[in-house]
Structure 1
């Protein structure tokens, strides 16, 4: 069974026997003691508190939070969003690193028996074992590490989320042309959609850049089984070295010339189509073709550096 360009249909591709923005350097961030990904705004812990009650309510509404939901809030700050969640959710896990803010949070949420305040570094936290929803205005300076922490392991209980983040990062995560290996891998299991831009005037203190609201939803029919995540990472890390390269150039070394010809026909691509322009369903065809018609010894493996970051 192959994932073809428009829908999932059986495809007989091969006859038997035929053969990110790099404008900023990495630096250590005192909030988490972890390396920041390139392209992150230089913004200490990113403590910019949203004060627009209408926007906070909109976040909770778009996340479809109900009494049956466990909601994880990352960087709860002074609790403006936490209290809204406490009124709608079955259980709220509000994570905050700043000890002074933790005290404020506990006072503000004292009447909410369904709310637990967790004083911990976000990136050292274990994700909930049960199914959960994320609704957060996350710290700008660790936007990419948080997204990796949430989405790198598709077998977790994350169902959906609404996250407010720096606008540039939101654009990168939702761009039509995918240049980033991690973002492409996330999209095989999750839909990531840009909802709206948010002016810096809605925060106190106002950040130096605008923000955006991003919606994440687990696909009902993922492109691949979760067990294939590592193998898929190996494929796309190999193929996306040059996102503008043609499919033939990017996949040479994995597929034979006859196989590449049939593969392009199956996904509806031409010889000039850049590898970075392929959609998730087309990548599904590429991956399934590789696993069925290419010897395992020829499958690309994840590099050691990416394997360490992934685990």
Structure 2
């Protein structure tokens, strides 16, 4: 088995070689026979996903930071007018003003930064990202537990694990399988925009770990009687660990505490 080059390791590059997985990914990124008005592809690489995303987009901007790959990408898609190959760091790119989608086989080492970029972009409608399977499972509650990033953004975004790709489908072969995460902006937020700041503060306080339990952490920012009432309303045991409390239970607690 060929070893990854130093540049590939530095950029966390694992190129998708499984064409069936690439076709399935494109269907997940642009579902139900729709057409994406504008899509940004993160880490286009050699164009494995670009090839299948392009027919589903009116405009596709394929970002690639590795300049060694740009001439090949541009030659491959020279006859595909809706594709623009952009030789730049996706994370340094200003978000488009209007609605747009994001998709890509993201560098595993940069996943958190790319997700954060997406969640901060006002015009993002959805993001379909191929990540380490463990990351995908953690963020979507597939392990039966929940993380700060997911709970904090849940009123605005739905997170789903929509696919898996075996490690053998990449070159070089990584140590772990990949998962496909789908993040979709909700048409109507579950928490009113004026109350979202309070939601974020409450969730961050709960995940602070201060006090030894979720109940104790929330008592630092809310009166105990209200915390007790919130836990009863949500059907959450007072001894529950913060990761055990799901988005629906957080929302019910916020109705009492917010």
Q: TM-score range by the shorter chain?
A: 0.7 to 0.9
Partner residue in 1 for 2:185? 218
CA contact (8 A) 2:128 2:181 kept: yes
Aligned 8 A contact 1:181 1:233 in 2: no
Match of 2:234 in 1: 267
Structure 1 residue matching 2:49: 3-state secondary structure: helix
Aligned residue pair count: 249
- Compute the displacement of 1:288 (Å): 4.3
Structure 2 length as normaliser, TM-score? 0.86
Query: When the two structures are superposed, what TM-score results if normalisation uses the length of structure 1?
Result: 0.72
- What residue in structure 1 maps to residue 243 of structure 2? 276
Q: Unmatched 5+ residue regions in structure 2?
A: 1-5
Equivalent residues of 2:150, 2:159 under 8 A apart = no
Q: Which runs of 5+ in 1 are unaligned?
A: 1-29, 32-41, 292-311
RMSD (CA atoms): 2.5
User: C-alpha distance in 2, partners of 1:43/1:95?
Assistant: 18
Change (3 A) 1:226 1:74: farther
Confirm or deny that 1:158 pairs with 2:132: no
The structural deviation recorded for 1:197 is: 2.6
Tell me if the contact between 2:233 and 2:253 (Cα under 8 Å) persists in the aligned partners. Answer: no
Q: How does 1:1-311 map to 2 (within 5 A)?
A: 43-64=9-30, 66-151=34-119, 153=120, 156-175=122-141, 176-178=144-146, 180-242=147-209, 245-291=212-258
User: Are the equivalent residues in 2 in contact too, given 1:191–1:218 (CA < 8 A)?
Assistant: yes
Greater length-normalized contact order (CA 8 Å, ≥ 6 residues apart) = 1
Deviation at 1:124, TM superposition (A): 0.7
CA deviations on 1:211-240 (whole Å, 9 max, x unpaired) are 112222222343223454443332222211
